[in-house]
Structure 1
Amino acid sequence: MRMNEVQFDDSAPVDGYGPGFFRVGSEVFNGAVLLLPSGAKGWAGFEDTGALVAAASEVDVLLLGTGAEIAHPPVALRQAVEAAGMGLEVMASPAACRTYNVLLAEGRRVGVAMLPV
């Protein structure tokens, strides 16, 4: 088996997560988090569509982690993100962490908004 070291550009991958927190680039974020090419910051949750729409110039696809289980996002959130020209992929937060790291390693223009598990 051949092992390859993953190299990330300027964005930090998700290093870990647990009940109520995410660790991104060795920094711990309690609660929901938004990771974009411009950096990581806290996110106010499903009602905070403004932060997601503002990311339209940075990302092509936005992953949405809905917590421990996959759930339907509010219709208003989906409509706002899609109207801004971004694709929206909804999944449980653990899957969103893994998918984000893979796409980030591929150099994709990806962002992720996640609710904690």
Structure 2
Amino acid sequence: MRLNEVVFTDAQPIEGYGPGFFRIGGTKHEGPVVTGPTGTKPWGGYDDADTLLAYEGAVDVLFVGTGGDIAHIPAALRDRLEARGIGVEAMSSPAACRTYNVLLSEGRRVAAALLPVGDAT
């Protein structure tokens, strides 16, 4: 007999993205978003640390999508998150979406903070 622990959260996979938006759980979200075990909501970007710090104790790793290209996130933001036990992995937003979905499908405790790719025109 095989027993599996079932964890119910409001986390949903990222279904797609495009210039200025992300599609998560069948809903199109304009601009930067954060998604994870408590659902999806707007994110104010690198200056909005409080939204990310709210994941303390709920996730082991936060994927930060830096837009169309990989970039460093501000050291002060990374330090604050890591001091609270939140591992941080910065990568391009397309890579962050893919990696988040894979780990989410494995039942891992993950979240993603995503800056959009390209301009919404």
* TM-score where L is the length of structure 2: 0.88
Equivalence for 1:29: 29
How many pairs are equivalent? Answer: 110
Summarize deviations over 1:46-105 as a string: whole Å, max 9, x none: 000111111112101000000000001011110111011111001000000000000000
* TM-score where L is the length of structure 1: 0.90
Give aligned-pair identity as a percent: 56
- Distance in 2, matches of 1:16 and 1:58, equals 24
Equivalence for 2:91: 91
> Which residue type is aligned with residue 39 of structure 2?
G
Answer whether contact 1:56 1:84 (CA < 8 A) is retained: yes
- Distance in 2, matches of 1:89 and 1:101, equals 14
- 1:16-55 alignment runs, 5 A limit: 16-55=16-55
> Which residue type is aligned with residue 86 of structure 1?
I
Answer whether contact 2:57 2:85 (CA < 8 A) is retained: no
- Distance in 2, matches of 1:74 and 1:89, equals 12
What SS class does the counterpart of residue 56 from structure 1 fall into? coil
Q: For structure 2, which runs of at least 5 residues remain unmatched after alignment? A: 1-7
